[in-house]
Structure 1
Amino acid sequence: MKHVLRWFLPFWKLRRKGMGILLLITTLAIAAKTVYPYIFKFVIDHLTRDIHYDNILTWVWIILGVGLVREITQWLLPATRYFMNMGIGMDIRLNYFHEIMNKDYSFFARHRTGDLTTRLTDDIDGDLKIAWYAASGILRPVEAFLTLGFSIALMLSLNWRLTLIAVAPLPVIIWVIAKTEHIQQRAYSLRQKRTSETVDVLESAFSGIRIVVGYVAEKAQGKIFRRVMKERVSAEEKVVLIRSFLESLGAMINQVGLVIILFVGGYFVQQGRMSLGEFYAFVAYLSGMTETIWTISWFFVSTKMVEASISRLENLEQFSDAEYGQSRPKKLPPSISIHEASFTFPDSREPILQDISFTIQPGEIAAVTGSVGCGKTTLLNLAIGIYPSTTGDVHLGDIPPRHMEREVLANLIGYVPQEVVLFTGSVRENILMGRDLDETAVLKALKLAAADTEFTLDTILQQGGVGLSGGQKARVALARALVHNPKILIMDDITSALDAKTEGILWQRLREDSINRAVLVTTHREATAKQADKIIWLDQGKIRDICSHVELLEEYSEYRHLFAKP
């Protein structure tokens, strides 16, 4: 429990004024609620003795006033808790969104998109999850403890022997909760894991719907989804079973206690050891204690549930952030220089790239080619600092990319990945990505990308570019990379989906605009290789040769086979 409370502490500090107001309203609500039966005690006792209407009228006005305060606070309390739940939930989600955005490449290689989505949605906003616990979950036991404290104090003033009998079930319930603690935690962790798996399957099926339909694989996907749902239902049933058992056990213990109190209290009234008003107040407090004791015991259960979700968020913090330096060079030569660099993934023993050395000068276009899986995309990521070199040196100009400030590196490089990502919104929004650039720059970028005749700036794109061809998606992504006039342009096989005419126009415009720009592109198309000033030929993670396309064709039969048509 201490771990959970420490985790929430920074978020409570951000909302300390609101939490303070909530605590004040809670205290006022509980005071009005617990004093209500005590006031009725005096009214009932007056009715069973000599009636003094003036006294009764006074108590009636007191009851009306206290009742009004009680009803207002009972209405205000859940509403203010709900708003605080939403506010703290937003703070937590934004905090971990920024946490994820700052992670390095290894983080995204190990986490599925669906799992990350679940952690920032269901783990925070679900039933009895983090956002609920932030205000409602933590203040409900505070309310219960205040109610219990006020009630027991007043009950002791009425009859201490009966009070001891009334609170006897409390240790039993707490003992049961403590004994089932580990079972609860395992069940709730498994439920969240199954939820993440469900989101992953749905995301894969919907994003790849064209493949599913094209291969008539609807039944196969249905079987996968049915299996995942059965596992999720099983996990949900375990949680429901545990909650139902604990709720029923708590209710049963308290109901037995209430029956005992009715008999013992009735006996005390007959013996004249309690007045009828005192007995009424005592039963009223005891009836309220049934819910109060359950709220306190359920607090331990809900804490374990929330701890499972917190652990999933904390797991994100264990991965390293992307490393960037503090260098802000005023003028940086637009060149790429790699010297004897190698790269190995953290979980791999074999290097993906070995002894890579080459230089690309301003105004030069270099193409990386080779067989599938030879490391072309990895080389691009190494060149711009996304992947850190295991050995050797990588420089943009005369500075390693990871020594530069993040904003400097982003302004220096224009990067078009092989897997194009488009967002819901206009072409303008997809190209600018929040950057403060004028419309002239956007129009110029569209023209350079040979997309000016196909899109207007206000054309609306759907998420993922649904409805666009592969070539259209690639050119919107290229315009995004060119709009800030980068000194270094990196393109990962973006011409593969272009027809010959469009590709010719694209390269003509790029060459004219790249007089002082270093361009590095991967390709398996001969038309693109012909446009390059030099070819970097990769073979199983090593550079086989660096020459012009014509020279490589003349010297190597293996190179000719790379472009041989079947």
Structure 2
Amino acid sequence: MKHLSYLNKYFLKYKWRILPGVLFVIISNIFGVVPAQVIRNAYDLIVENAAIYRLYEGFDRQAIVYDIFSYSLFFFGALILFLYLLRGLFLFFMRQTIILMSRHIEYDMKNEIYAHYQKLSLGFYRRNNTGDLMNRATEDVNRVRMYVGPAIMYAFNTTVLFLLVIYFMFSVNATLAIYALLPLPVLVLAIYYVNTIINQKSEKIQEQLSRLSSFVQERFSGIRVMKSYVREAHAQTIFAEESNAYKTNSMGLVKVQAFFYPTMLLLVGISTILTIYIGGEQVIDGAITPGNIAEFIVYVNQLTFPVTMLGWVTTLIQRAAASQKRINEFLQLQPDINSGSQEIDLNGNISFKNVSFTYADTGIEAIKEVSFEIKQGQFVAIIGKTGSGKSTLANLLMRMYDPSSGDILIEGQALDKIDLHSYRSQIGFVPQEVFLFSDSIKNNIAFGLDAVTDEQVNQAAKDAAVYQNIIGFEQQFETMLGERGITLSGGQKQRVSIARALIKSPQMLIFDDCLSAVDTKTEEEILSNLGKLMKGRTSVLIAHRISTIKNADKILVLDNGRIIEEGTHEELLNSGKAYAEMYQNQLLEEENV
């Protein structure tokens, strides 16, 4: 239960739902147990009146005895019906308090998990796959809800009913009660043994379900690659293996439960047999009446429900504990990146001082003792071979990661002391891997702002040189995009992503190699528009093509995580080093094309 103790804060929050719920449980069970005593009196009445009826055989009084007997039975029957109606009413109230509380807790938990996920740093998402994250926020939360709702409700109900039944049994006859409850220690041992097995199997089931969800999510996201390489059959085979593993684990749990429930019912049946046998001897001895045996049989049968529910509740609790353990693993994680408190007005003055960075999950040192400065209003370009550390620099500048060593200063202040929300809201960032949402083109462009006009959206699309493409669609800006923007071409996706950054009118713009799928003419148009929009503002452009960056105020050449050259286009060409070599190679490639 240590993992489930995390939920105590929710129970405290909704205490005014739990407390009335517990009260309704107690009242409903009182009305559930009292009918057994009514049945005892009715049974004794039948036995006594049957003897009196036979005694007056042949006399007129026999009809009077019969009428009294009939009215008495009708009264007892109506009383039992009334008691069960009251019990049903309070059971309804019980569900309306406790079950509704569980839905509120489910809502709070999902919000808490989602909010916590958003706080975690980019490295967390590199280490964990989307399917597992989704499964913990949906399937695991649902299993926890079954604990805070049905499991707790039936646990209260079972406990109260069990205590009431035992109290009334011992108040009637202690000897008979002891024999009737004799199988219970065996039941306790069985539950203790089975609990461990259920817990182990539940954890395996949830882990396998996460693997299965991750596999499906990943294959559907990469469906184009799968079809291109004709790997549908291969994926189907792997899915069948993963699904079979899930089925095997689930069947193992079902087998345990299939053995558990009949065993409990058998023990209840033994209690009934002992009740009739020992009760019969007690009646012969005159210790109890036949009505008491009927009363005890009702009690024993009433215990069938608590005992049966005990197994089901145990399963729910064990599965919820396994799920809550998985949820706690992520909720207890702290973000690698914590926002500072200093608000700044971003102008674009940036300084890197001996900055190095190593990816924790791979151990790759992507940036090594990098130092450079960017002044307000400068257009700075970063170029280098694949894997030289260009995108890592962009991520460090956006503070997706903190450097392993060295300092990054923004407007003279340490980046880790600056309020992240304020800082990032003043930056327009276009990542290398373009991501568009399954929404309209208009909403994708307006994503970074709470409220925009159609004129702003149109202008951003024009600045990104994608306006003519959009108005060519049948529904224009209301065109719905498929998952990850699959409806658009690669170049169109990049330009919509650029429009999303430009509409913010940012103080600083960072392009992470986001013009790779754009033709030269469109690229020149976009860069020309950027020159007008970003006048007096800082722009950082990461690119592979030298033609894209030749007009930059400063060019940084990266190789193997280090800056090997720095200067303008002309200065770097005149130096005749790595940049000049890259320029000549790209000219030869263009001539060959």
* TM-score bracket relative to the smaller structure: over 0.9
The equivalent of 1:14 in structure 2 is 13
Farther-moved stretch of structure 1 (217-226 vs 70-79):
70-79
Give the Cα separation in 1 of the matches to 2:30 and 2:448: 52
Farther-moved stretch of structure 1 (302-311 vs 331-340):
331-340
Change in Cα spacing, 1:474 to 1:268, as seen in structure 2 (3 Å) is: same
Deviations 1:487-507 (A, max 9, x none): 111121110111222212111
Equivalence map 1:471-490=2 (5 Å) = 471-490=491-510
Equivalence map 1:92-107=2 (5 Å) = 92-107=109-124
The equivalent of 1:549 in structure 2 is 569
Equivalence map 1:134-533=2 (5 Å) = 134-321=148-335, 322-329=337-344, 331-433=345-447, 435-439=449-453, 440-455=455-470, 456-533=476-553
Once the two structures are TM-superposed, the CA of residue 539 in structure 1 deviates from its matched residue by 0.6
CA RMSD of aligned residues (A): 2.2
* SS of residue paired to 2:356: strand
Give the Cα separation in 2 of the matches to 1:181 and 1:60: 41
The answer on whether the counterparts of 2:347 and 2:411 sit within 8 Å (CA) in structure 1 is yes
Farther-moved stretch of structure 1 (485-494 vs 168-177):
168-177
Give the Cα separation in 2 of the matches to 1:279 and 1:354: 86
Give the Cα separation in 2 of the matches to 1:561 and 1:274: 109
Change in Cα spacing, 1:144 to 1:412, as seen in structure 2 (3 Å) is: same
The equivalent of 1:72 in structure 2 is 89
* SS of residue paired to 1:212: helix
> Which amino acid is 2:203 matched to?
S
The answer on whether the counterparts of 1:12 and 1:19 sit within 8 Å (CA) in structure 2 is yes
The equivalent of 1:48 in structure 2 is 47
Once the two structures are TM-superposed, the CA of residue 26 in structure 1 deviates from its matched residue by 1.9
Once the two structures are TM-superposed, the CA of residue 267 in structure 1 deviates from its matched residue by 3.5
Structure 1 residue ranges without an equivalent (≥5): none
Give the Cα separation in 1 of the matches to 2:16 and 2:31: 23
Farther-moved stretch of structure 1 (305-314 vs 528-537):
528-537
Once the two structures are TM-superposed, the CA of residue 448 in structure 1 deviates from its matched residue by 2.1
Once the two structures are TM-superposed, the CA of residue 134 in structure 1 deviates from its matched residue by 0.9
The answer on whether the counterparts of 2:384 and 2:544 sit within 8 Å (CA) in structure 1 is yes
The answer on whether the counterparts of 2:21 and 2:93 sit within 8 Å (CA) in structure 1 is no
Deviations 1:318-339 (A, max 9, x none): 422231011113x332222211
Deviations 1:64-87 (A, max 9, x none): 321211233345544654433322
TM-score (norm 1): 0.93
Farther-moved stretch of structure 1 (282-291 vs 359-368):
359-368
Once the two structures are TM-superposed, the CA of residue 95 in structure 1 deviates from its matched residue by 0.7
Deviations 1:221-275 (A, max 9, x none): 1122122112212221222122222223222222222222232223333444322
Once the two structures are TM-superposed, the CA of residue 561 in structure 1 deviates from its matched residue by 6.6
1:539 to 522, 540, 559: 559
Once the two structures are TM-superposed, the CA of residue 423 in structure 1 deviates from its matched residue by 1.7
Once the two structures are TM-superposed, the CA of residue 166 in structure 1 deviates from its matched residue by 1.9
Deviations 1:518-565 (A, max 9, x none): 111222123323343332111111111112334434512543376353
The answer on whether the counterparts of 1:553 and 1:559 sit within 8 Å (CA) in structure 2 is no
The answer on whether the counterparts of 2:456 and 2:503 sit within 8 Å (CA) in structure 1 is yes
The equivalent of 2:57 in structure 1 is none
Structure 2 residue ranges without an equivalent (≥5): 50-64, 471-475
Once the two structures are TM-superposed, the CA of residue 15 in structure 1 deviates from its matched residue by 2.2
Farther-moved stretch of structure 1 (449-458 vs 320-329):
449-458
> Which amino acid is 2:295 matched to?
A
> Which amino acid is 2:8 matched to?
L
> Which amino acid is 1:559 matched to?
M
Change in Cα spacing, 1:348 to 1:425, as seen in structure 2 (3 Å) is: closer
The answer on whether the counterparts of 1:338 and 1:383 sit within 8 Å (CA) in structure 2 is no
Once the two structures are TM-superposed, the CA of residue 217 in structure 1 deviates from its matched residue by 1.1
The equivalent of 2:58 in structure 1 is none
The answer on whether the counterparts of 2:24 and 2:91 sit within 8 Å (CA) in structure 1 is no
> Which amino acid is 2:450 matched to?
D
